[in-house]
């Protein structure tokens, strides 16, 4: 599994306290472990709990990056 960024366990304590805005947490959720199956990316702003959910028709790198940039 390829990881991007810092692991949750290693993030600064300030982020865990949820006292400052614009600290985001993200995850990719896949229901079926088959190639070219849809997935959801969840992005959560830690202070406000504002949530963004993006559906990806397939989980190959180029479509995911393209959808994320929109």
**This model's pTM is above 0.85:** no
By percentage, how much of the chain surpasses pLDDT 90? Answer: 16
Q: What are the pLDDT digits (tens) for 50-61?
A: 999 988 877 677
Taken in order 12, 16, 20, 26, the sign of the CA dihedral is positive
Residue 62 to residues 19, 20, 67: CA-CA distances in angstroms? Answer: 34, 32, 9
Domain parsing of the chain, residue ranges: 23-69
């Amino acid at each position: 599994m390829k990881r991007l960024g810092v692991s949750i366990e290693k993030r600064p304590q300030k982020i865990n306290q949820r006292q400052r805005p614009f600290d985001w947490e993200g995850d990719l959720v896949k229901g079926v472990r088959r190639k070219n199956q849809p997935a959801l990316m969840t992005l959560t702003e830690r202070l406000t709990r504002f949530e963004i959910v993006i559906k990806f028709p397939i989980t190959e790198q180029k479509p995911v990056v393209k959808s994320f940039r929109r």
